[in-house]
Structure 1
Amino acid sequence: MSYRVVFSPEAQEQLAELYRYIAEAASPDIAAQYTEAQALPTTLRRPPQRAEIGLSRGVVMYGNLPHNRGQEGKPMPQPFSTARLEARISTDLHSMLKRAAELQGRTMTDFVVAAVQDAAQRAIEQAEILRLTLVDQECFAQALLSPPQPTPALKRAFARHSKLLRAE
């Protein structure tokens, strides 16, 4: 079975940031070679486990090591921070999400995060976009083109505002 790799917007931004960092530190050609190699994996496989690469749980690496410093001693870009989200779902929904993720060649976490992000963006857009009927649009445009005369209360408010600004 072949899989198609789809990067999330965050992953695309991280890849672009990595390209900029390498291009500045080395050259644009090296940056392109490296980031293209990262973006076009030939096979999908699980990452090695700690025991497979000889790390035990007691190993702690910190300090100014060569692998966490860039050229000229600049620190390497740090990964973005994350937060945890948990939800209780039915086994039927879990099975459906798992199948959908497998069909798209993604992990279930990646699939759920992408779906939730899309839903959140749609909800925010729906809340922020004001939709007017044709009559409402005409009324709004007319109010902009020929606003009503200011009322005495509005004139007093403007006077107070101007007085406050002059006092500062």
Structure 2
Amino acid sequence: MNVRDLVPWRRNNERGRNLAVLGEESPFLELHREVNRLFDEAFRGFDATPAWSGASHWPQAEVEESENDYRISVELPGVDEKDVEVVMHEGVLVVRGHKRSEISDAGRAVTERTYGRFERRFALHDVDEDRLYAKFHNGVLTIIAPKAPDSRDKARRIPINQPSLTH
């Protein structure tokens, strides 16, 4: 949404155009233009990245949960397996790595691809860390995180709108 859509009048409305043509600059019109310019500059960077690019959450991931495990698939096109690291530490699965460019910056005119270091974190507190495994195939890293046997029984349903025992 453009900030200008929130303004009840437009810059090119009839009154503004007439005042500018006649040279009768109103202080309110000048203030209006200045505020519009400030908003345009302040919000210039927003929505600059297309929603489909995924640059804000690169690499893109998908997490599936079954009764016995979690399956995390991370898309890493153009990344070598040797440039990826998977670490489990205190209930957090970390996928990090580095995507390198095949083209030098000097030869690149335009790019829509993402390069550089990346890191994604997934909170998985109820997994059996000794049975985790990962596979890398066709640019997709798949991590299987089996749930710990006792984690399935940890869920407890909380009654809603029941009288409190302390009141």
- Taking structure 2 as the reference length, the TM-score comes to 0.19
Q: Where is the strand percentage greater, Structure 1 or Structure 2? A: 2
- Taking structure 1 as the reference length, the TM-score comes to 0.19
Q: Where is the helix percentage greater, Structure 1 or Structure 2? A: 1
